[in-house]
Amino acid sequence: MGRISSAERRRNEEAIRVAMDRLLKGDLPPGGSCDLKTLATEAGATRTAFYPKKNRDGTTRPGPYQHLAEEFQQRLRTLREAGKVVDPRIAQTERLKAKVAELKERLAQRDETVAELTTFKELAVSRLAAQHDEIVRLREQAAALGNVRRLPAAGTPMRGWAACSLAARSRTCATSRLSRRPPLVTRRAGHARRYSLSVESPTPAPVPVGRRIGVFAA
C-alpha cells in the first residue's frame, strides 16, 4: 500500500466511521457480518490497514486504520455486554447452542429411560420363565399321580358321574325342604284330618279323632 495524502486518509477514515455506525446499528449487508472484514468491504478500504505492520528490522508499527479497528471492536464488545446483539447470526448461533444443550439433556434422559425399561423387561422375562417351569412341573406331577381330574370349562354341560351327583343332591335338598313343612289340618263333619306331605307317601294319611296328638276336634 503506497503512501496516501492526508486528505485521502481523512476521507477513508470518514467512510470507515460511517460504515462502522451502520454495522453497529444492525444494518448488515447480505452475507455480511459485524466484523472487520465486512467493515473494510463496506468502507472501501483494505482489511490489512486495520492490523499492525512489520518493519524491515522486525519491529512493528500500527496500521493506518488500526485505531479505528480497535474502536470498532470496543464498541461492539460494549453492545454485547449490554445484551444488545448486533449481528442476527450471533443470536441465531446462541439459540442453536441452547437447542443443542436441550437436545443433549433429553437424549440423556431417554437413554436412562431405555436402560430402566430394559432392566424391567429382563426381570419380567425371567419371572415368566420361572412361572412356566413351575406350571410344567406341576402338570407332570399331576399326570404321574393320576388322581387329578380336570374341571369342565364354564358353560359346558356336565355328563356322567358329575351330572348324576348333581341330580342326587337336588332330590335330597327337595325332600329335606318338604319334610320340614308343618302338617296341614282340615275340619270336615266333626273329624280332624292331618295330612303329612312327603316324597315317599304322597297320599294323605287319616288320623282317628280319638288320638288327639297335637290336633283337637271342633
Mean of the pLDDT values across residues 97-106?
92
What is the mean predicted confidence (pLDDT) over 185-213?
A: 48
Give the strand pairing for 191-195 and 184-188.
Answer: antiparallel
What does pLDDT average to over the chain? Answer: 76
User: Which of 215 and 111 is assigned the larger pLDDT?
Assistant: 111
Q: Mind listing the pLDDT tens digit for each residue in 17-65?
A: 999 998 888 888 887 888 889 888 998 888 888 888 888 888 888 888 8
| Percent of the chain's residues with pLDDT above 90 | 24
- Position 88 scores a pLDDT of 67
- Whether 120 has a pLDDT exceeding 90, the answer reads yes
Q: What is the mean pLDDT of the segment spanning 84-98?
A: 76
| pLDDT of 182 strictly over 70 | no
Q: Which residue has the cell 508499527?
A: 61
* Nearest-10 crossing angle of helices 66-81, 6-24: 10
User: Domain ranges in the chain?
Assistant: 7-86
**Under DSSP, is residue 188 helix (H, G, I), strand (E, B) or coil?**
strand
CA quadruple 87, 91, 94, 96: dihedral sign: negative
Backbone angles phi, psi at 186, to 5 degrees: -120, 150
